[in-house]
Amino acid sequence: MQSTDVRECSIARTLDLVGERWTLLALRELFLGNHRFEAIVRHTGAPRDILTTRLRKLEAHGLIARSLYQERPRRYEYRLTPLGESLAPVLTVLREWGDEHLAGPDGPPATFTHSCGAKLEAHVTCRHCGEEVKASAVRQAAP
């Protein structure tokens, strides 16, 4: 009777990396162009010490890079690496879901535009057939 049989899974791995509290909000700020520690603290509300550990972890895994933007006194800011930028779809989908299901009577708290000129409304599609991916359309392949 083995009582644990924890599933090896890319979802779990991704969450191990970016699923802790504040991490995705910090990344959101970087995507929005706020690269400084103080700005991230202000806009996320994260405790400064926690934010430090989150940023260090993201840096250690190559999602962000710390760069000196000023000598004397030495000041650092954070920038997304290409790997970090590849998380854009994750944030986009989280925002999309919140926009659709958690918005108040005034609609979503912020809107975004895509480079095509339209208000950004994103959806997840199958690369092969182009159809929107729905829960009922996905099956685990035989291992």
Partner DNA sequence: CCCACTAGGTTGGATTTTCCAACTAGCATG
Partner DNA sequence: CATGCTAGTTGGAAAATCCAACCTAGTGGG
Contacts to a copy of itself from residues 78-97, by CB under 8 A: 80, 83, 85-97
| Paired residues of 56 in beta bridges | none
Query: In terms of CB distance, is 8 or 71 closer to a copy of itself?
Result: 8
Minimum CB distance to DNA, residue 7 (Å): 16
Interface with DNA, residue 53, by CB under 7 A: yes
Interface with a copy of itself, residue 113, by CB under 8 A: yes
Separation CA 53–CA 129 (nearest Å):
41
Separation CA 67–CA 55 (nearest Å):
12
Minimum CB distance to DNA, residue 11 (Å): 16
- Smallest CA-to-CA distance from 91 within 20, 38, 29, 17 is with 29
Interface with DNA, residue 77, by CB under 7 A: yes
Separation CA 26–CA 37 (nearest Å):
9
Minimum CB distance to a copy of itself, residue 27 (Å): 9
Residue with tokens 């290409």: 82
- In this chain, which stretch among 8-16, 64-72, 90-98, 101-109 interacts with DNA, using CB under 7 A? 64-72
